[in-house]
Structure formats: C-alpha cells, structure tokens
Amino acid sequence: MKRLLLIITLFLSLIGGCKSQDYIAWQAVSFTPVKYGLLYNWFATQDRYTANVEYGYLYNRYAVADSKNIAAAGWHVPSKTEMESLITEIGGGSNGGKLKETGLTHWRTPNTGADNSSGFNGRGSGTRNPYDGTFSVINDQSLIFSSTLNISQPWALYLQYSTGDVSITNLANQRAGGAVRLICDSSTDPGIYVGNDNRIYQTVKIGSQVWLSENLMETKYRDGTAIPEVTNNTTWAGLTTGARCSYSNTESNAGSTTNVGGISSSSDWVVPTYNEIYSLVNYLGGVSVAGGKLKETGYTHWESPNIDASNEVGFNARGSGMRDDLMFFALNNDFNIWSSTTYQQWYFDQYSEELDPVNTTQAMGVLLATYNLNEVVDGNNEMFYGLSVRLLYVGEGTPSSYIGNDGKIYPVVQIGSQWWLDQNLQETKFKDGAWIPGYDGGVYTPISNANWAAKSTGAVCVYGDDETNK
C-alpha cells in the first residue's frame, strides 16, 4: 500500500518544465471531508446517454400497454383525454402547426402551418402496417399512441404534412406501428427525462402538462427487460406482444445516442465489476480475512467489537449502512458497496447459463466488512437499494487524487496493483453536470421510501436523511 505524496509533484515543478495538470490540482488541494459518504441506487452507477432522436422508434400498442411499463417512474403514456387537453391548450384542432417542427428535414413540403410555437417538435415519423408489416408515410404523417383503446383500436394523436390541423384518430389495430411521447405525472417540468435504458430526453411544458419534446427511443421496460426489436414483416404482422422497430429497419431513422457518462467524472475511474472487487479481496487473502484488513479501527464508525479491524491497507472502510424500500439500517454495522455487475451477468459468469428473467431487477453488491465478522459476503440486491460506492482506477499511469463531477477531491490508495478511492463517494452530480435526484439543484431533497423503491433511474440519499452522516 502506498499513497502518492504532494512533494512529488511539487518537486517536478521546481526542477523546471511545465507544471503538470496533477500539480495544478494538488498545489491547493483540500480533500473533501467524508464521514460515511452517500448511498446510491444501482442505476446511479451506470452511464447515461443523450438520445439524439430523428424519428424515434415505432412501437406496437402491446409495448405501449405492457404492464412492465415502457415509461420510467414518474411518467406515463398519455390517455386520449390528456391528448385532448393538449389540443385545447394550443387553441383547438386547427392549430396543429403549433405542434409541428418547422422546415422540411422531417416533413414533406409544404409542411402547412408549422410554427412549432409550443416546442413539441412533432415530426413525420411514419407508421408500420399491422397487416403486412410494411412501412409508409415517413415525413407525411405522425401517429402518436395514447394509452386508450376504442374497443380494440388504439387512439392516436395525428399530424400531417399537408394541413395545419391536429386530431385524434384510430389506428387499425394493436399491431400498427406508431410513435410514443410520454407525459409527466407532475406538472413541474424537470427539464430532462431519463428512460429505462438511461437515455436522456428533453422535455417541454405546454399549459399544465409536461411532455417529452421528442419521440421515444426506449429499448427497455421499467423492470429492465428488453423491448424486442422485430424486423421481419410477417412476424410483426402476427405479434400479440410488445415490440419496436426503426422505420424501414434502419437504425439511423430512429436516431443515435451519445454517452454523456455517469457518476464518475472520468473514464479512468469506474464503479468496479464484481470480479474487480474480488481481485481486491483475494489479494488480501480471501473472504475469510479481507474484511478486517479493510476496516477502519476503533468505534467511531463501527459498533463494538469491530472484530479484527486493522485497516492495514488504508482502505478506511466504515459502517455506512444501507437503504431498502422500508428503511435505512445497519449504520456502524455493515459496509456494502455496489459492483457494476448485474445478477444476471454474475450468474452467467458463474454457471455459463441464462437465469430466469425474474431476477433482472437485481445487481451484485459486496458486503466488504461488518462489525462482528472478519468475512466478506456477496449478495444480489434489488437495484433500488441504497449502497455505498467506491471508484476504481483503470487508467494508465499513477493517479494522484480523484476530482468528482461536483468538484469534491478525494485521496486515493494503492492496494496491490489496484488504485481505489480511500473514502466513500459523496458525488452529487452526473458527468454531464445534471444533479443526481436527491440533490436537486445542489440541495438535499429527501426521497420517500415508496418513491425510492419505485426508482428505475439514478438517485442518491444520505443515511437517515441526516446530512451530518454524509
């Protein structure tokens, strides 16, 4: 175990040459004081992606209505009544141009009446025929699903290139392919929407309603299962379950994605995989002895007896506790950290076979230390559980420190061939600058147990909602 000393970079500056970026960071360094750090759900540990939407995917109505839910928590597919309210808000059916994107990039000429004054950005996304699976009317028409059926026919918001009107019409049946726009459960505009697959979309408030301002490009249901992509026309026409496609089976028609990063400020630092955590454990002698070598000594952050705590490698593990759907618990008793590995992937790696889909909502955490044992224990946790995070260095060279997305600075420690943060993470922002929900606007905003358990996107909390614990 060794820690890089400030004198190294200071010496480099004194012997001449350019000051390194490390020196600039270190010369006025002030490490962030961390007590227990923050607790994150597993979703917060994953990278997020900007959805660069062209027309979005086309879905059948079975995907829209699936109980696994195409919308992330806090959002839903709009009802026919909510679409009627949108039309009323813009001044009636003759004012559909307020919902249409201007220009001829995504509409055919003459794109009558388009002024997009609502910011809805409607585009001619076309449709897929429910009887033979063929595609048609891209740049001519936009058909956006509602959640409401007219007996067996879905209602849909209808825009077209040749008029400035907007109406609500019936699609032929539930196998027809149409676009999806989501509406927020709340009238407060969050500015962005993060989908089940971590794609990020822009939002717009129109009257009292908050909508996505672009068509959906979702690939997963809320429970994490994939929405199947179906390209074969005959197969599409025979479906009775949820599916998606790109217009003409061309992905670029749907759009693209840009990785905007996640909880780490640099690709050099990652939430470790399950195997990377166990490389640490094995280096320290295995599961029966590693816990004590990682634990901070004494009883300030551990209950007695804090068995075999030596902290001999400077990892400074503290009993930071955790959160489930009912409560916070195990403060000063347990130190759990997230891995980036899903339970499905762990199972496949262990047994080389697929696991029943019922376990798609779980990820691997590792109980690295506990107050009354010297052992390391792993386990599958629900992805919404709140656990601590330690980042691992996977870059080239030797790190001097880690600077988070919100400017906090952390010391690092080398253990074997690995470099780790030697404190729990206290990050409040994603890499793209967005606040992690729970620290909205930089102010801690407690999330109720029920809402915490319903999260399918990143969130953070402080143990017991008490900021003195962070």
Residue 32 pLDDT class (50, 70, 90 cuts): confident
Residue 466 pLDDT class (50, 70, 90 cuts): very high
Q: What's the average model confidence in pLDDT over 393-399?
A: 96
Q: What's the average model confidence in pLDDT over 248-266?
A: 95
CB atoms within 10 A of CB 324: 15
Q: Phi/psi of residue 358, each to 5°? A: -60, -20
Concatenated DSSP letters for 288-331?
Answer: TTHHHHHBPPSSSSS-TT-TT---TTS--B--EEEE-SS-EEEE
Coil/strand/helix, residue 415: strand
Q: Which residue has the tokens 């900021």?
A: 467
The pLDDT of residue 20 is above 80: no
Axis-axis angle for helices 343-351, 274-283 (nearest 10): 60
| Highest-confidence segment of 23-27, 218-222, 242-246, 371-375 | 242-246
Q: What's the average model confidence in pLDDT over 219-246?
A: 95
The answer for residues whose C-beta is within 8 angstroms of residue 404's C-beta and 6 or more apart is 32, 265, 410, 425, 426, 427, 429
The pLDDT of residue 469 is above 50: yes
The pLDDT of residue 351 is above 90: no
Q: Residue 99 is encoded by which pair of tokens?
A: 């919902």
Q: What's the average model confidence in pLDDT over 150-161?
A: 96
As beta bridge partners, residue 229 has 244
Q: What is the pLDDT of residues 47-72, one digit of tens each?
A: 988 999 999 999 999 999 999 999 98
Contact 39, 460 (CB under 8 A): yes
CB atoms within 10 A of CB 113: 17
Count of all residues that appear for the chain in the document = 470
CB atoms within 10 A of CB 23: 17
Percent of the chain past pLDDT 90, that is, above it, reads 81
Q: What's the average model confidence in pLDDT over 145-164?
A: 96
Contact 155, 109 (CB under 8 A): no
pLDDT given for residue 379 in this prediction: 84
Q: Which residue has the higher pLDDT, 121 or 358?
A: 121
Coil/strand/helix, residue 157: strand
Contact 398, 369 (CB under 8 A): no
Percent of the chain past pLDDT 70, that is, above it, reads 92
The H-or-E segment that residue 81 falls in is: helix 80-89
The answer for residues whose C-beta is within 8 angstroms of residue 469's C-beta and 6 or more apart is 35, 36, 331, 462, 463
Return the amino acid letter for 141.
Q
pLDDT given for residue 25 in this prediction: 36
The pLDDT of residue 10 is above 80: no
Interstrand relation of 75-76 and 183-184 (parallel, antiparallel or unpaired):
antiparallel
Rounded distance, CA 200 to CA 259, Å? 10
pLDDT given for residue 192 in this prediction: 87
The pLDDT of residue 263 is above 50: yes
Rounded distance, CA 199 to CA 47, Å? 9
Rounded distance, CA 237 to CA 343, Å? 35
Contact 13, 19 (CB under 8 A): yes
In the chain, % helix, strand, coil (3-state, to 5) comes to: 20, 30, 50
pTM attached to this predicted model: 0.75
Stretch among 116-125, 172-181, 229-238, 358-367 having the lowest mean pLDDT? 358-367
Rounded distance, CA 448 to CA 409, Å? 29
What does pLDDT average to over the chain?
91
Q: Residue 283 is encoded by which pair of tokens?
A: 């280096």
Residue 15 pLDDT class (50, 70, 90 cuts): very low
The C-alpha torsion from 403 through 397 and 280 to 336, rounded to 10°, is: 10
**For the chain, which residues make up each domain, given as ranges?**
1-27, 31-47+262-469, 49-259
CA proximity to 74, closest of 161, 189, 202, 216: 189
CA proximity to 369, closest of 338, 336, 418: 336
Q: What is the pLDDT of residues 295-322, one digit of tens each?
A: 999 999 999 999 999 999 999 999 999 9
Q: What's the average model confidence in pLDDT over 73-97?
A: 97
